Amino acid sequence: MSTLEENKTVGKMVAEDYRKAEVFKRHGIDFCCGGNISLEQACSEKNADLEMVRLELEEIDNRQDPPEHDFESWELDELVDHIVGVHHVYVKRATPFIKESVNRVKMVHGMHKPNVSEISDRFDALADELKIHMYKEENVLFPFIKQMVAAKRSGEPLSVPFGTVQNPISMMLHEHDSAGGELAVIQELTEDYTPPKGACGTHRVSYGQLNEFADDLMRHIHLENNILFPKTIALEKELLNR
């Protein structure tokens, strides 16, 4: 791995090639909310073998299958549409079903297995948090990002209603940290989404749904934290300095 590559943050590595997320997931390294650190630091925090992680990342570089979409090269308004159309739609569609199954498991097994009650309560709280969070993105921050892109294209001046776009972004980052923290607790409570021996069908299905939800949310937060937000801050600087 080159020195240039080594100096990149974990989030940047995943932004450039999402296939690398699988390596970080395998080693318990957070590339979305906590992705703003070097590979060395991330490995030392998680007691992961740095050399092994480097080798696995290199293996991905040498793989024949093409990297996924190059989101870093997308226009920001396209990226916003992608995030809303794919990830916000998924969260809105999936949460009622997952709420229902984790709640059913809580009703049947909660008396004897306190973990399943806590999982259900925490997922309910997370789903409610995300609903408000996405509302703010869709109605405040994302329309403003689209206005910025339009101002760039037209050459018109930009007026920033909230001082700087860094203010709403800081709020969104804070909310991502909170959602990421909730997910980490759910992952621990479910023992990495592994249903206990002899678990009933609904219990197994609910863990599968939670696992899929966590994967989608990590990808979603990654696109915002590591690509959309830094590029938005850079675009604001560019527009204000022209």
Q: Which stretch binds Fe ion (CB under 5 A): 45-53, 99-107, 116-124, 220-228?
A: 220-228
**Beta carbon nearer to Fe ion, 23 or 183:** 183
24 close to 215: Cβ distance less than 8 angstroms:
no
Nearer of residues 137 and 236 to Fe ion, judged by Cβ: 137
Buried b (16+ CB within 10 A) or exposed e, 60-94: beeeeeeeeeebeebebbebbeebeeebbebbeeb
The least distance separating Fe ion from the CB of residue 133, rounded to whole angstroms, comes to 6
Task: Report d(CA 42, CA 44) in Å as an integer.
Answer: 6
Residues 6+ apart with CB under 8 A from 3: none
Footprint (CB under 5 A) of Fe ion, residues 116-145: 137
Asked whether 203 and 5 are in contact (CB, 8 A), the reply is no
Q: Which of 224, 226, 227, 231 binds Fe ion (CB under 5 A)?
A: 224
Stretch that binds Fe ion, among 37-45, 162-170, 218-226, 231-239 (CB under 5 A): 218-226
Write down the residue that tokens 């070097």 correspond to. Answer: 38
Please tell me whether residue 182 binds Fe ion under the rule CB under 5 A: no
Closest alpha carbon to 116 in 102, 129, 96, 135: 102
* Smaller CB separation from Fe ion, 1 or 173: 173
Question: Least distance (Å) from Fe ion to the CB of residue 87?
Answer: 6
CB of 106 to Fe ion, least distance (A): 27
Cβ closest to Fe ion, residue 30 vs residue 137: 137
Contacts with Fe ion by CB under 5 A lie at: 137, 224
